[in-house]
Amino acid sequence: MAAEDAVALKNKGNEAFKNHDWPTAIEFYTKAIEANDKEPSFFTNRAQANIKLEAYGYAIADATSAIELDPSFVKAYYRRAVANTAILKHGDAIHDWKIVVRKNPTDKVAKAQYDACQKMVKRDAFLKAIEVADAPSAAEGLDLENMIVEDSYDGVKLGDKMTQEFIDDMIERFKTGKKLHKKYVYQIILAAKEILYNEPTMPETHIKEGHKLTVCGDTHGQYFDLLEIFRLNGFPSESHGYLFNGDFVDRGSWSTEIALLLYAYKMLFPNSFFLNRGNHETDDMNRMYGFEGECKAKYNERVFKLFSESFSALPLATLIGDKYLTLHGGLFSDDATSLDDIRKLNRHSQRQPGQEGLMMEMLWTDPQTMPGRGPSKRGVGLQFGPDITKRFCEANGLKAIIRSHEVRMEGYEVEHDGRCITVFSAPKYCDSTENKGAYINFGPEYEPEYVKFDAVPHPDIKPMAYANNGMMGMMGM
């Protein structure tokens, strides 16, 4: 294949990239690389498409290939720095930001990222130094009993119990940019935390005659798209249960609204409304991707700390009708891991998932098309093939696993011979990916019904508006 054929393939990749169709862009960049693997820009282009798909591990590998071909190629250091920053490997990122700043001293964005990265490294070290195993709860000293809700507060009042009237008012308040009274915010988080804490690590639910259960994937602070799910599919009720499979917060700029609404529903329907933890219900991700900043901007730091405690109370998986294991990421590094291991996992003794172990794998892993296990395209966790899924389902008497954690252009995908289902419920993700959202309905027969939906308009607040040090600007580079 001639060099001009490779360039033509790259141009097709650029076209797909311009249309925010990242998977197709990657396909064409890969073909261009196969035609000519000596051109560093093909690798940096593919790295950027991988960054858009959050395949940061692949992006780092591509940027490194470009650097090997041309050690003076600034863009490659830039891409690698962005990818390492995204997976919180600030120490690795600093090295590359430093090179970018040295080679391009006038690049203000790179300079800002370099400075921000240095701050993060210092902050990480500081937080590690002051970490206390049994730190007191942020609820200590909160006197909710005597906290006054001023007469000027124009919303429905909340007593000891959650009511449908309060939720209906809350939905409308959030639509118009109004906030809840701080007392109610504290009340909701603390009540939800207690319910969640007392649930098993893997709640098990069965669908009765005349009932249904809807499984949703990542919603990532896209509040108006969450309301669209309820508009199309019906609001939660005793007979219409919902399961939200992690990543309620971060990236989208209505994360507090989503978290509070889901928690309010958990209070109202504790036995039919389920919440699993995602990899974004964790402190380090919340510091980077906007939820901490949003809590502080809309409420205060204590609200973030209470949310953090409630996130570590979230169950890690839900078993539907003994047939479908639903968890945020995916399967495990060890074939011997069973449903019983999940049941026995004491999630309360380990608040954050860390870099290895069962909890990390449940929140972070992804499927791959190749058999066996492979390194993670994200740079965190691992990937598992169809044979791994088959063995796990057969050993545990399951029809399939249901997971989320990754954008799918159609909102969902069934792979691994029908045994691995991905559902993602944030359409037009981050306002920059032309994907649909989806959810899955189950009745008492446990046959999945897939429903796709499109994004709806939202007020003009950008994704990542509250993120750490303008992370959004960097991710768009």
The residues that are catalytic are 280
Q: Is 402 helix (H, G, I), strand (E, B) or coil?
A: strand
Measured distance between the N- and C-terminal CA atoms of the chain, rounded to whole angstroms: 31
Cα gap 188→48, rounded to integer Å = 40
Residue 368, C-beta contacts closer than 8 angstroms, at least 6 positions apart: 374, 383, 384, 385
Cα gap 10→26, rounded to integer Å = 10
Query: In angstroms, how far is CA 373 from the centroid of its own chain?
Result: 22
- The sign of the torsion formed by the CA atoms of 105, 109, 114, 116 equals positive
Residue 20, C-beta contacts closer than 8 angstroms, at least 6 positions apart: 52, 432, 433, 434
Host H or E run for residue 438: strand 437-442
C-alpha distance from residue 437 to each of 48, 292, 454 (Å): 23, 25, 6
Q: Is 357 helix (H, G, I), strand (E, B) or coil?
A: coil
Q: Quick one: which of 53, 90, 97, 91 has its CA closest to 468?
A: 90
Task: Output phi, psi for 453, to 5 deg.
Answer: -150, 160
Cα gap 83→450, rounded to integer Å = 33
- The sign of the torsion formed by the CA atoms of 141, 146, 152, 155 equals positive
What is 40-70 written as a DSSP string? HHHHHHHHHHHHHTT-HHHHHHHHHHHHHH-
Q: Is 330 helix (H, G, I), strand (E, B) or coil?
A: coil
> 94 is written with which tokens?
């600093």
Task: Give the residue carrying structure tokens 């930001």.
Answer: 97
Task: Output phi, psi for 236, to 5 deg.
Answer: -60, 145
Helix, strand and coil percent figures for the chain, each rounded to 5: 45, 10, 40
CA quadruple 138, 140, 144, 145: dihedral, nearest 10: 170
Cα gap 269→291, rounded to integer Å = 25
> 300 is written with which tokens?
């205060």
